[in-house]
Structure 1
Amino acid sequence: MQPTNRRHLLLATLALGMGSAALAQTPPAFPTKPVTLIVPYAAGGLTDILARVVAPVLAEKWGQNVLVDNRAGGGTVIGTGAAARAPGDGHTLLMTAFGYTGNQLMVKNLPYDPKALTPLAMVAESPSILYVSARLPVNSVAELIAYGKANPGKLSFASSGNASSPHIAAEMFAGQAGLQIVHVPYRGNGPAINDLVGGQVDALFDSPATMQHVATGKLKALGIGSQTPNARAPGVVPISQQGIPALATFSAGGWFGMFVPTATPQALQLKLQADVRAVLETREVREGLGKAGVDPRVMTQPEFAAYLQHDLAYWGPIIRERNIRID
């Protein structure tokens, strides 16, 4: 074969290879039908509210309906499992929160493989604020601890459910402060807040959205679980900075994010992540998240995956120490 012909053959082969590689990286046609956004929590909860903020803006971007599908139950196991078993075509996504990592720590035999889901995009995060009933005779974290020690086993902490992030935050607080508490689980944070306002329970870790009840004098906010103050909770001092040595490292908060079946082609994952990121930067979504009391948080897929690994490492010891299990 002549050198010129060999050169032409080589160039043609390279062009074919480059074309094949480009084709392999081209996202499959998407969307070709309505997209289902599974929320493994009950309707009306914070994760559901955030999903309904994001869904219509994604629908507008994609030109297809984005249907929020609440599949509560089993401590988020039911909905998460449904998403893990969904086809990897981008038309089924999962919007969840702490339950994703919590289940891996508290459920011995999960009916799905956590690796069947891949972190797609962080949506928002929110520090937890320690609220107490206005009827409780305390006005600081130090006074709450003194009250709890003077009334062992009587200080009640509400939560949005057994093994939920508010429950685990309460157990961590109690463990570090040396308190005996009574955990009172509810079906969602709405009923828990109602009973806290009514004085049926004493305390609750919840998002800044509940500050509205502080403004009306129905609740008191004693401290925040972040390491720095938060603009959504003006005047609320971080718990770790209130001069209590046992709580110097205390940190508690919630995250909310989207996942995709791992079988989804990488090129499509990248498109989905870019689309979610673009939606999070819109004024409509940022205002909606703000009204819900959370802060938008944009991360790359690797950053989100690393964040979740830290979540597992941070909460694992307290879950094992306090023997927290999903009912």
Structure 2
Amino acid sequence: MTINRRHFSAAVASLGLPLSWNAHAADVFPSKPLKIICPFAPGGGSDFIARVAATILGEHTGQACVVDNRPGAGGTLGSELALRSAADGYTLLLVAGSYTVNPSLYKIRFDPVNDMTPVIQLSKGAYVLCVNARLPVNSLQELIAYAKSNPDKLTYASAGNGSHLHISTAYMFGMAGAKATHIPYKGTGPAVTDLLAGNVDMLVAGTEALMQHVKSGKLRALAVTTDKRLAAYPDIPTIAEAGVPGYDVVAWHGLIAPRGVAPEIIRKLNDALNAGLSSREIVAKLEPTGVSPAGGTPAQFGELIKAEIPRYAKVVKDNGIHSD
């Protein structure tokens, strides 16, 4: 008699013996709606990417996918909630660069490498440094000179203490030998609102959150954070070429799952997302914002996370950055 995998699984289960993973669950996955926990407030760049991913999963799995925003503590609250969820592939976590910064700033109650399963890198791009148009500077060099001649008078916003935007800006000022006062917000959206109102002087954030206001004349774009200019905005110099040699920060987002999700489920999620990220519609949606689809294997994304954690630990230490 031939015993297929389903019969084998049932036989083992009847004996009370554990399976390394639920083969039947992987076969029928997904059979109910999916959820992406976004540990940041609505309206920012991370929320935008989370909703792009949710759209792709909805279209390529046949199941609805919702975004659940859970901001707080630099993203650690939502991250812990997601990573403590059932390891069945139905709850995913949207992560950004701050995920690799948080271990150096917070007493997190999870292991950022060993308590998760990488799914895919969704995007890669640059942040843009913008100032309120009323600030009397027209270039990064002028901004640095202004900061040096007015110690701690210049203010910069971020998406929160310890956020990737906070670290990226402090890193820039540290390399430039200048100082500015950090004003944290609960997400990029509120930070942009106060920048437009003139309550803060500058913000480093995603192009999708800022460039519409640059075009309207309310903000002035001084530089981008990557070591190469953006094809979508070729007239904006890099921070490295505009006054801080050697500076290079990449903005990225990806999806991870709790530890222990079955490999076949991860493969299905990865295949669906890779297919969506390569579609003309998604490319057309992302590229005007200065963000490019990434894609790739779960292992490749896992290696990126592992490499970024020690890198930002050094930035935090060298610049005396604290979460409070």
SS of match in other structure, 1:100: helix
CA distance in 2, matches of 1:313, 1:288: 33
Instruction: Please name the residue that 1:31 is paired with.
Output: 30
CA distance in 1, matches of 2:55, 2:140: 41
* Deviation sequence 1:16-74 (CA, Å, 0-9, x none): 99xx9xx9988432012111111111222221122222213311321211121112222
Give yes or no for contact 1:211–1:233 (8 Å, CA) kept in 2. no
Question: 1:294 is matched by which residue type in structure 2?
Answer: V
CA distance in 2, matches of 1:122, 1:165: 16
Is structure 2 residue 312 aligned with structure 1 residue 315?
A: yes
Instruction: Please name the residue that 1:154 is paired with.
Output: 153
Tell me the number of residue pairs that the alignment of Structure 1 and Structure 2 aligns.
Answer: 308
Instruction: Please name the residue that 1:185 is paired with.
Output: 184
CA distance in 1, matches of 2:89, 2:22: 16
CA distance in 2, matches of 1:94, 1:171: 26
* Deviation sequence 1:115-160 (CA, Å, 0-9, x none): 2212210001221111112112221111111111111111111111
Give yes or no for contact 2:155–2:180 (8 Å, CA) kept in 1. yes
Give yes or no for contact 2:94–2:255 (8 Å, CA) kept in 1. yes
CA distance in 1, matches of 2:322, 2:121: 26
Instruction: Please name the residue that 1:170 is paired with.
Output: 169
Question: 1:100 is matched by which residue type in structure 2?
Answer: Y
Instruction: Please name the residue that 1:7 is paired with.
Output: none
SS of match in other structure, 1:69: strand
CA RMSD of aligned residues (A): 2.5
Instruction: Please name the residue that 2:196 is paired with.
Output: 197
Instruction: Please name the residue that 1:300 is paired with.
Output: 297
Instruction: Please name the residue that 2:286 is paired with.
Output: 289
TM-score of the two chains, using structure 1 as the length reference: 0.86
Question: 1:268 is matched by which residue type in structure 2?
Answer: I
SS of match in other structure, 1:28: helix
Instruction: Please name the residue that 1:229 is paired with.
Output: 229
CA distance in 2, matches of 1:294, 1:103: 23
Instruction: Please name the residue that 1:76 is paired with.
Output: 75
TM superposition shift of 1:167: 0.9
TM superposition shift of 1:236: 0.6
Instruction: Please name the residue that 1:239 is paired with.
Output: 239
Q: Which of 111, 114, 118 is the aligned partner of 1:113?
A: 111
Instruction: Please name the residue that 1:212 is paired with.
Output: 212
CA distance in 1, matches of 2:168, 2:45: 17
CA distance in 1, matches of 2:253, 2:259: 19
CA distance in 2, matches of 1:238, 1:165: 18
Question: 1:230 is matched by which residue type in structure 2?
Answer: L
CA distance in 2, matches of 1:42, 1:213: 20
Output aligned runs, 1:2-81, within 5 Å: 27-81=26-80
* Structure whose alpha-carbon radius of gyration is higher: 1
SS of match in other structure, 2:28: coil
Instruction: Please name the residue that 2:140 is paired with.
Output: 141
Instruction: Please name the residue that 1:97 is paired with.
Output: 96
TM superposition shift of 1:326: 2.7
Output aligned runs, 1:248-263, within 5 Å: 248-263=245-260
Q: Which residues of structure 1 form unaligned runs of 5+? A: 1-11
TM superposition shift of 1:284: 2.8
Question: 1:28 is matched by which residue type in structure 2?
Answer: D
Q: Which residues of structure 2 form unaligned runs of 5+? A: 9-20
TM superposition shift of 1:253: 3.2
* Deviation sequence 1:171-228 (CA, Å, 0-9, x none): 1111111112111111222222222223222111112221222222222111111111
Instruction: Please name the residue that 1:6 is paired with.
Output: none
SS of match in other structure, 1:95: strand
